[in-house]
Amino acid sequence: MSQFPFDAVVFDLDGTVFDAEEGITSSVACAMDKMGLPVPEKTDLRMVVGPPLRDSFRELLQVPEERIEEAVQNYLEDFLYKGRFRYRVFPGMRQLLHVLKNCGIHVALASSKPQKTCQLILHDFAMDHLFDVIMGEGMGKDKLGKPELIRRALPEKYRRAVMVGDRKFDVEGAKEAGIESIGVSFGCGSVIELETAGADYVVHDADALQKLLCPDAETPRGWFITMEGPDGSGKTTQANLLEKSLVQYGFDVHRTREPGGCPISEEIRRIILSKDNMEMSPVCEALLYAASRAQHVSEVIRPGVEKGRVVFSDRFVDSSVAYQGGGRQLGVKLVQQINAPAVDGMLPEATVYLDIDHQQAIRRRFSASEPDRLELAGDAFHQRVEAAYQELLAQGDQRFIRVDASRDIDSIAKDVLTKVLARLEPEWKQEA
């Protein structure tokens, strides 16, 4: 433990772990509108992020004292149903929390938000398991205050502790609690505010914060996830939605595809899919896919995972097994042999399979845009592709996540995200 400056780190929630600005300000504006009260002219609504909510309504927004509780209730109603879903984890914060936990450092949260709300938000974003202690206020009028929240978040014994926050309230609370403070300039507070309050350090991004808290700590290995399915299964739509959600949840995502993903592989993709090459033999097609994959793994996938990123690929080797092994009838074993040096042991931690009848899928595909060479291969070909996928799933490989893709887009997306999060954060308890 002596290799790291601090053995206990306490984080603020809003403006520090989360970019909460849109979620909070939209709910505050909704509360004011519902009461028929104007937001005072030249008021910067971002300043409600950080201090206790009642103080913001009273001092910043000039709500009459007799209507403060009404304002709070209106805010909470909108926030719990809408505002909290507009939160975003700041880039690098999820990885930092993992690094701290891996280093054995006590990680805690101290927020002026109600305790139950803190727990709800952290669970929504699959992050509650990354904190040893979560401290928030009660729901009543009587408040502990930031200094006491910080004290209660600390372990019974520690060598050196620090509070990380984006506003003066975090810095001042740390001082009163008798610990050091780090101000982060990427939240709602300014560098001037943090320095004036007496922050011991000010950092400008999560990378700088990680170097300060745990210098030379090893970056955890990232993840490789893929998405598979018949042509027309909705892969592009679902891949876009999953990527957007993972970025919102604070994962460092590198989106890629097969065939393609890097310049050499994209050149091979053009050859494979071109309708000018209808005479291409099945073996040539399989070898070209493998060649594209070899470069993709070497140049993109493996380096990305080693840097701690989530490398998310639209299709991978399972597509070759299904399309060339099944669809082109080359056989699963031959296709796997061809691809063994290309894959080079780099199999996904999770593979989402969008499960849908091939005929329904291809009708969707043809109605969306002009089909490519493989999509024009005919019904018997696509039936064999689906059968090959089903055979892969039946083998019981635990990396596969089967999702019913015959439903509406939102239901599919919710299912995909929940199941992928369970793979990326295996310690997260979904039922909490």
CB 245 within 8 A of CB 280: no
Q: pLDDT value at position 1?
A: 43
The pLDDT tens digits of the residues spanning 261-296 come to 999 999 999 999 988 998 999 999 999 999 999 999
Closest CA to 214 of 5, 427, 11: 5
6 — alpha (psi -120 to 50), left (phi > 0) or beta? beta
pLDDT of amino acid 222: 96
Q: Which amino acid is at 175?
A: K
Which region holds residue 164: left if phi is over 0, alpha if psi is between -120 and 50, else beta?
A: beta
Q: Write out residues in the chain with pLDDT < 70, as ranges.
A: 1-2, 139-141, 361-378, 432
Q: What is the pLDDT, as a whole number, of residue 358?
A: 77
**pLDDT value of residue 382:** 87
Nearest to 220 by CA among 350, 343, 310: 310
HSE-CB at 346 with a 13 A cutoff on CA atoms is: 30
The whole-number pLDDT of residue 367 equals: 56
> Helix 206-213 to helix 93-102 angle, to the nearest 10 degrees?
10
pLDDT recorded at residue 425: 96
Q: What is the pLDDT of residue 368?
A: 52
pLDDT confidence of residue 140: 67
Backbone Cα Rg of the chain? 26
| Separation in Å, CA 213 to CA 186, 351, 411, 414 | 17, 34, 40, 35
pLDDT digits (tens, 9 = 90+) for 239-261: 999 999 999 999 999 999 999 99
Q: Which CA distances in Å does 259 have to 18, 152, 270, 272, 315?
A: 36, 53, 9, 8, 8
